[in-house]
Structure 1
């Protein structure tokens, strides 16, 4: 499977690391990608969240039965990306089809991957945001709870929907709305914005 060029997309723009936690704050479904040598894989995960601000950290649950987890453990790196409405079916397929039984999973599903300049973890095209992470080894958490911690070393977003450190779903194309998984292939796309004045203290 060939890598496409992410840097050729004018909307693929870096996000300041101090704002990277905001990419996950609204609780979206994520795709987890990893590579070790020439092997690449992508899986879906519903349990991922921001953990810390500085340095920015994230958590994600990766089941022992997944090939992606083995690649994360071998390489010490992974990426989280936020799939959008047009690739909802792909997210379900990536979360259902295992590379352990189907080594050609990515080619079979037609997954388009790219690498950001200066990075080596494959990223999935068609997402709203991407976070490149270095694994923070926590063997007890990983073995007992399948819980992985990553330090975000780089982040990007589609600037039509995330810019100046904020999401702009209300003015972005509908196709850039992120997904929120419930169960059984049922998602919600993120809804309308509600602004509440912040009290002064």
Structure 2
């Protein structure tokens, strides 16, 4: 086995889920590419995301207390990347996507995204560069064509991920196992 080497203290989770953050900024929809997001509680469904304090989306969340997290498909890579390249502080991105609204008036949902979720802000933690926003899911929206047995199907959604610091997007690959299943044989054998 090769020797392990220290690569420093600025590492990333591989891969990160690529999403699009939706907010209402000065009364208009605004969007930002976002990958620093994860679920942090089961019931109620709660997710956390880190947003840089300089972003217009940061200000919008503080002002409204609502936002959306939209899951784009692989055919949306270019427009997702643009949503991250163009600053909402200088660019009006309100016409970038066709939107609809669900339960919350300040959480624009992207119609083209296979999965769109709207959140109410419940907590925030300030850090040196970013704020960790924690939101409770108000509702999740999809279409029948993205479901299998009533659940969102990753093969039908075709999401993509981000890797950093190489800054590349990746399609989700093949299934390699089943969670809460494939380790059962090891668990049983360790009881001996």
Q: Residues of 2 paired with 1:75 and 1:155: CA distance?
A: 19
Q: Residues of 1 paired with 2:148 and 2:26: CA distance?
A: 33
Once the two structures are superposed, residues 123-175 of structure 1 have per-residue CA deviations (whole angstroms, 9 ceiling, x without a partner) of 1121121111110133xx134442110011111223323344644334x3xxx
| TM norm structure 1 | 0.73
Higher relative contact order at CA 8 Å, sep ≥6: structure 1 or structure 2? Answer: 1
RMSD (Å), alpha carbons: 2.3
Q: 1:106 aligns with which of 86, 90, 94?
A: 94
Does the C-alpha gap of structure 1 residues 160 and 27 become closer, same or farther in structure 2, counting only changes over 3 Å? farther
Unpaired segments of 5 or more residues in structure 2?
A: 1-14
Q: 1:45 aligns with which of 9, 34, 45?
A: 34
Q: Which secondary structure does the structure 1 equivalent of 2:39 belong to?
A: strand
* Equivalent residue number for residue 11 of structure 1: none
* Equivalent residue number for residue 193 of structure 1: 175
**Larger Cα-atom Rg:** 2
Q: Residues of 1 paired with 2:29 and 2:100: CA distance?
A: 11
Q: Residues of 2 paired with 1:165 and 1:77: CA distance?
A: 27
Q: 2:126 aligns with which of 135, 138, 142?
A: 142
Q: 2:159 aligns with which of 168, 178, 184?
A: 178
8 Å CA contact 1:169–1:192 kept in 2: the answer is no
Q: How does 1:57-136 map to 2 (within 5 A)?
A: 57-102=46-91, 104-107=92-95, 110-116=96-102, 118-120=103-105, 121-136=107-122
Once the two structures are superposed, residues 86-124 of structure 1 have per-residue CA deviations (whole angstroms, 9 ceiling, x without a partner) of 11101100001001122x2333xx3222213x4322111
